[in-house]
Amino acid sequence: MADDEGNAPKEQKQKKFTVGSAKIITSHMMPEHEEAALEVAIEAAETHNLMKDIAKYIKEEMDHRFPAQSATEGLFHVLAGQHFACCITHEVRFYIHLQIDRAHVVIFKNKDTPVSLRDLPDHHPGDE
């Protein structure tokens, strides 16, 4: 709405997500990584509106706090939302599933394959 002086309306800022409760559902992380993941996820939820932005923030922050030590060591991946399913492979001791209010966050680290999949021979079920 315009104000009494006919000025254009001011844009209303969307309210950020307010964390009412945060808990760990499942964790296969060392305590140091677990605490950081929970802290970063809460931070992300309090400063971002969209789940994709929350996931991106968590990924970038976890990669920054716990960088890969070698070319074949994995990077963090993050899934965030209220409705999703996933089936993943993760590094040992690098998986956590959090719930922040009604949203769920899955954080895991996975190594990239050191070979190109194009270099592997084609395999078709039933060729044995």
The structure tokens listed for 31 are: 């305590």
Quote the pLDDT of residue 2. Answer: 46
Alpha-carbon dihedral sign for residues 33, 35, 36, 42: positive
For position 112, what pLDDT does the model report? 65
In the prediction, which pLDDT does 103 show? 93
Domains (range + CATH), the chain? 22-110 (3.30.740.10)
Mean pLDDT by 10 residues, the chain (128 residues): 48 54 94 96 95 97 91 88 91 94 94 60 64
